[in-house]
Structure 1
Amino acid sequence: MLIMEEMEARGHENLTLLHHAPSGLKAALAVHSTVLGPAIAGVRLREQTEELAVRSALALSESLTLKSALAGLNLGGGACVLMMPEAGVDDPHAREALFRALGRQVAPLASRVVLTEDLGVTPADIEFVGQETPATLGKNTDTGTITAYGVYRGMKAAAKYVLGTESMRGVKVVIMGVGVVGHALAGHLHREGAKLILSDFRLERAQALAHELEGSSVVPCQEALDTPCDILAPCGFGHSIHSGDVPRLQCRMIAGGEHHPLTLHGEEAVKEAGITYIPDYAINAAGLIASATEIPADQAAEKVYQTVGRIMAFAEQSHKPPHVVARKMAARRIGLIGSLGRA
């Protein structure tokens, strides 16, 4: 699919390519919707191709629109995906230049875009952005751990309907990716007595966490999808579960902190396989909620719990998959609030 066709299919408003040669800035900034307010855009930094950066920005920005709508925030959805500069960003001055260049490039869009940190980006990086533009949420801390607690609470809300109990004691959970979110999620589940199977592309990281959390086990990444479990929790960089991998899955529910673990085709495939998918934009919203509203972590996580519970209840009543219900709920709020017009 061509980029313009994909933008039209998803309903995007804007896609901007950013470039500043001296700092090595190469980025894709996508704005999916500003109907509810300025587009909240998570800033990501990782090694990737230009095409992947653009497509990731388009997918992530749509997810942020849905996430903000479900969370009741007056924000739209955006995403800013940075390609890793050839010289890297280990030099602190180079890192400062990269993010200040980003801020200066985004400054003209300050009325439509609000930047915040995402994978590979720190609060200090966003402070650099903020030196050049007011278009940031400001310096936030521990958004990953807040997100993880919200995923844990959302997982319990969904388990009540899928597994027949909110308790995680004895529930077998495969966590794919044990970075900040996956690590914190594992801690919450372990304290409640879940049986954890950990996986990460850096196997030694999963092994270290398993040693820390007594009774946990480890499987290589390539075996995680084949592991029998109650809940599969993707917590990686995105698209961890390809459509062709769905027949391998031996779980009852997919619920994790990862953005876009499945494509739309993948969502249809897991539905046909009888697996319940709790969409990323419903369950991983606690970090965004806390950043945007400045409420405590437990309150942000409680909002996720309530949202997922509402989705599951309606899904059960309507005999529709939760991911279909969640998207319709988000679209309904966008339509209703959008019908009010601009203040």
Structure 2
Amino acid sequence: MATTYNPYENVLKVMDEAVELGGLSTDTYEMIRNPQRELKVYLPIRMDDGTIKVFEGYRVQHSNIRGPFKGGIRFHQNTDLNEVKALATWMSLKCAVVNIPYGGAKGGITVDPTKLSKNELMRLTRRYTFAIESIIGPDKDIPAPDVNTNAQTMAWVLDTYSMLNGKPCPGVCTGKPLELGGSKGRPSATGRGVVISTKLILAEHGKTLSGSRIAIQGFGNVGANTARIAYHRGAVIVALSDVSGAIRCEDGLDADAISKFVEEGHLLADYNESGVEHISNEELLLTDCDVLVPAALENQITIENASKLKCKFIVEAANGPTTAEADAILKERGIVLIPDIFANSGGVVVSYFEWVQNIQTLTWSREQINDMLEDILTKAFAEIKEVVHKKNCSWRMAAYIVALSRLITANEVKGLFP
């Protein structure tokens, strides 16, 4: 019988290996292996047909040792506590590896948002915000968008929290609309960070982004922005996928035209242009390319397909797309992988910029935001690279060693209360 994938066990396995390889102190490590708080809430809402339906929601706060909890809220039918715990843990690691003063958290509601109307989604979001209001706030825990949530979702979170607190509270969440205190550059930040990560690792191997052949699994916010930004920098986008299927073109896809097509409400399964072939998601992962960018959900590159991949580099735009078992196969095959906790950290970095602007009543230009993002990621990349060479390890192990070292040191400096 096949073993059920558990993302939380997967992240713990990688953390344990990194602590051993890095020779890190184990005195307070057990505190980092466990979340500080797990909250499960039941959310009754009135549906449009007048019936009442109850949904399950979660908020996991992993660590605030280095600053307030920070992490997105996802709406997905397969969301469960183990997934949210793993995502919260990855957020702690992500903030630590790029050295911004946040801890990690994550939230989710078990729901298929495509089956709810906009008004039902609004009521669900507001009820969820009410349920977690006591544990979030600008100096406690700052939510953001994630899978199937967006700036509109954050506007509802902001309004609900502000009404409950009797004043405007723009710093309570990030990824908001510009009109409500959002930051320029935030919608494209995660995708931009993926492209910066790709550029950095290609340069490390004497290659350039321009002319590199890239396959991207997933065409949501992150995948679409990754495709457009890479396309504008001269990359050849050879394959893309969404929930309906995948498309491939050896001569390259027009990322701008496809984005416009999808924004008009279409799916990739309906996209037909000369030279474009329709393939399965699995075929996309096995596409012959320079760079494979998994930008969908967890558990995509596994022990079953890792030996069949035809890419030279993997840049993880999604959280946890590669299992620990697959990692070992990729390393043996010489496929270079840039891990999620660094590759997709652009979103939380620019969320940090948004939060700083909110709490200090500042406004920065898009150019400032993008320049600061590139500076932070370039510096973090150099720190990870140093560990790669020092420990002769994978980029994932090096990133985890950097992140865990900061978390463990912070724990030891603060001490244990009481």
Superposed pair shares fold, TM > 0.5: yes
**Counterpart of 2:71?**
41
Amino acid at match of 1:334: L
- 1:86 and 1:179 map into 2 onto residues whose CA distance is 14
| Structure 1 gaps, min length 5 | none
- 2:289 and 2:43 map into 1 onto residues whose CA distance is 47
1:110 to 136, 144, 158: 136
Q: Is the 8 A contact 1:311 1:325 kept in 2?
A: yes
Matches within 5 A, 1:11-22: 11-22=34-45
Deviation string for 1:236-259 (max 9, x for gaps)?
123221222111112221103211
1:69 to 79, 83, 96: 96
Amino acid at match of 2:147: L
**Counterpart of 1:303?**
376
Q: Secondary structure at the match of 1:75?
A: coil
State which drifts further: 315-324 or 110-119. 110-119
1:169 aligns with 2:210: yes
Amino acid at match of 2:217: M
1:120 to 148, 155, 177: 148
| Aligned-residue offset at 1:216 | 8.8
**Counterpart of 1:143?**
186
Identical columns (%): 19
State which drifts further: 262-271 or 276-285. 262-271
| Structure 2 gaps, min length 5 | 13-29, 47-53, 162-168, 177-181, 258-273, 355-363
> Is the alpha carbon distance of 1:180 and 1:131 closer, same or farther for their aligned partners in structure 2, counting shifts above 3 Å?
closer
- 2:336 and 2:245 map into 1 onto residues whose CA distance is 30
- 2:255 and 2:243 map into 1 onto residues whose CA distance is 16
Q: Is the 8 A contact 1:43 1:80 kept in 2?
A: yes
| Aligned-residue offset at 1:212 | 4.9
Amino acid at match of 1:45: F
Q: Is the 8 A contact 1:197 1:217 kept in 2?
A: no
Matches within 5 A, 1:174-253: 174-202=215-243, 206=247, 210-212=253-255, 219-253=279-313
**Counterpart of 1:155?**
198
1:338 aligns with 2:411: yes
Amino acid at match of 1:164: G
- 2:337 and 2:255 map into 1 onto residues whose CA distance is 29
> Is the alpha carbon distance of 1:336 and 1:169 closer, same or farther for their aligned partners in structure 2, counting shifts above 3 Å?
same
Amino acid at match of 1:27: G
| Aligned-residue offset at 1:340 | 3.0
**Counterpart of 1:290?**
350
Q: Secondary structure at the match of 1:262?
A: coil
Q: Secondary structure at the match of 1:45?
A: strand
- 1:240 and 1:10 map into 2 onto residues whose CA distance is 24
| Aligned-residue offset at 1:203 | 5.3
Q: Is the 8 A contact 1:199 1:206 kept in 2?
A: yes
Q: Once superposed, which parts of structure 1, at least 4 consecutive aligned residues long, lie more than 6 Å away? A: none
- 2:118 and 2:226 map into 1 onto residues whose CA distance is 32
Q: TM-score, normalised by structure 2?
A: 0.72
- 1:216 and 1:305 map into 2 onto residues whose CA distance is 37
Q: Is the 8 A contact 1:25 1:101 kept in 2?
A: no
CA RMSD of aligned residues (A): 3.1
> Is the alpha carbon distance of 1:85 and 1:273 closer, same or farther for their aligned partners in structure 2, counting shifts above 3 Å?
closer
**Counterpart of 1:316?**
389
| Aligned-residue offset at 1:13 | 2.2
Which entry has the higher C-alpha Rg, 1 or 2? Answer: 2
Q: Secondary structure at the match of 2:413?
A: coil
State which drifts further: 333-342 or 182-191. 333-342
1:54 aligns with 2:81: yes
Deviation string for 1:308-328 (max 9, x for gaps)?
233124313432111001001
